[in-house]
Amino acid sequence: MNVVSNSTPLIALSRIYKLSLLKDYFGEVYIPREVYEEVVTHGGTLFGAEEVSTAEWLKVKHVKNRIAVESLSIALDKGEAETIVLAMETGSMLLLDEGDGRRIAESLGLKITGTVGILLLAAADGKLEFKKTRDELIEVGFRLSEKEYKRIPRLDKSASYKS
């Protein structure tokens, strides 16, 4: 299955040294030009910049429907808008964390996962211990709403939680 990623999952997974999970699960990952610019050009020396610029399995693709991008850019940043439009153009799953972008993508019928979804998948496959990795993600600044934080234990079948 093809997947198109926004910048936040790339940066978040890089910060906890788990970016390679995307390659493990998807082989190639498409990113729009704007996401590449956000992470690599504007990111400079920040986490994700070097990882994204050197990962041969991350493929920059140009978005064709500029009108759709401009329309979505009214409510979203340009990287999110390009990510959603590229997912529509390529028939790909969307890797996106931001709530507004996810709501719009869902309304367009796109299949979506996010950083936490990738970690849950890896935990189910025995590649990592979810609770520890989730806490590492939060420690490096990943924002997770209290609602989502409480919902995750029900999704994580590999973790042992006490209610």
The residue with greater pLDDT, 50 or 147, is: 50
**pLDDT tens, 5-54?**
999 999 999 999 999 999 999 999 999 999 999 999 988 778 889 999 99
CATH at 54: 3.40.50.1010
**pLDDT tens, 50-84?**
999 999 999 999 999 999 999 999 999 999 999 99
Phi, psi dihedrals of residue 14, rounded to the nearest 5°? -65, -40
Range of the domain at 79: 1-163
| Number of domains the chain is built from | 1
pLDDT at 159 over 80: no
Q: Give this prediction's pTM.
A: 0.88
pLDDT of residue 133: 92
Q: What is the spatial distance between Cα 112 and Cα 159, in angstroms, rounded to a whole number?
A: 23
Residues with Cβ < 8 Å from 147, sequence gap 6 or more?
Answer: none
Q: Which residue, chain included where needed, has tokens 């299955």?
A: 1
CB neighbourhood size of 125 (10 A): 12
**pLDDT tens, 96-136?**
999 999 999 999 999 999 999 999 999 999 999 988 998 89
Helices (H) and strands (E) in the chain, counts: 10, 5
Q: Side by side, which strands form the sheet with 3-5? A: 58-61, 29-32, 3-5, 93-95, 112-113
